[in-house]
Amino acid sequence: MTGLRDRKKREQRLRIIQAAARLITDKGLDATTMEDVAAAADVSVGTVYNYFGSKKALLLAGVAEDTERMVAAGTSVLSRPGPDPAGAVKRLTSVYLDDFLTWDPRLLREVLSAAFQRFGGEEITMELAAMDQRLIEQMMELLAHFHAKGELRRGVEVYDATLLIFSVFVLQLFMFISIEGFPVADLKRQVDRQIELAFAGLCEVEKAKRQ
C-alpha cells in the first residue's frame, strides 16, 4: 500500500512539474501563477505548495528531473566506453544533448533569466551549478577511465580535461538557447568538432610518440 501511495505522489509531482513547464514556456515565469499551475495539473493550489514553495522551485524541479535522466542515460556510455576517448565523450554529450533538446528553448531561456535576476537569482544559480556538477562528475569518471589506460597525455589532469570539454558543451548550449532559430544539426556538429579539437591536444602528442 505504501508503494502505491508513493507512486501516486510521484506521478502527481511530475504532473505538476510538466504543467508548470508548459505554462512557463507559453506565458513566461512572471506571468504564470501557482493557481494557473494547479488548474493545469488538476490539483488544488495547496497541493502545489505542498510540493513546491515557489514558481522558481517548480522551475528548478524540472531541471533536476532532467539532470537525473541525463545521468541515468549516460551510464550506458560509461559501461561500454570503447577504445576511443573522443568518441566516448561525443557519445556522452550526445546523450545529454538529446535530453536537453526535449526542452523548448523558450523554457530554457526562462531558466537562465531566473538565474540572472538581481534578487533571488543566486539560489537558482547555485542549484544549477550543483546540477552541472552531476554531469561533470560523470564525464570525469569517463575520462578517468581513459587516463588510467594511458590515452591522455602525461601531465594532463582529469579534472582540468573534464572542465575544458564541459565548457565547450555549455558554451554551445548557451548559443543554441540565446540565438533564435539556431539549427539543432549545427549545435551537434559544433559540439562534436570542438570535442575533437580538444582531444587533439589531450591525446595526439602522446599517440604520435608511440607510433
pLDDT of 175-199, one tens digit each?
888 888 889 999 999 999 999 999 9
Burial of residue 85, with CB atoms counted within 10 A of its CB: 0-12 exposed, 13-18 middle, 19 or more buried: buried
- Could you give the CA distance from residue 39 to residue 42 in angstroms, rounded to a whole number? 5
The residues, any chain, with a CB within 8 Å of residue 201's CB and separated by 6 or more, are 153
Given a contact cutoff of 8 angstroms between Cβ atoms, the answer to whether 140 and 158 are in contact is yes
Given a contact cutoff of 8 angstroms between Cβ atoms, the answer to whether 44 and 92 are in contact is no
Q: What is the pLDDT of residue 2?
A: 66
Three-state SS for 150? Answer: coil
With a cut of 50, which residues of the chain have pLDDT below it? 205-211
Q: What is the pLDDT of residue 64?
A: 85
State the alpha helices, DSSP H only, in 29-154.
Answer: 34-41, 45-51, 55-79, 85-100, 105-115, 121-148
Q: What is the pLDDT of residue 56?
A: 84
Q: What is the pLDDT of residue 186?
A: 92
- The model carries a pTM of 0.83
Q: What is the pLDDT of residue 135?
A: 95
Q: What is the pLDDT of residue 121?
A: 61
Q: pLDDT > 70: what percent of the chain?
A: 93
Q: What is the pLDDT of residue 119?
A: 52
Three-state SS for 118? Answer: coil
- With vertex at residue 43, the alpha carbon angle to CA 125 and CA 128, rounded to the nearest 5 degrees, is 10
Cα dist from 155 to 34, 83, 97, 160, 185, whole Å: 52, 21, 30, 11, 35
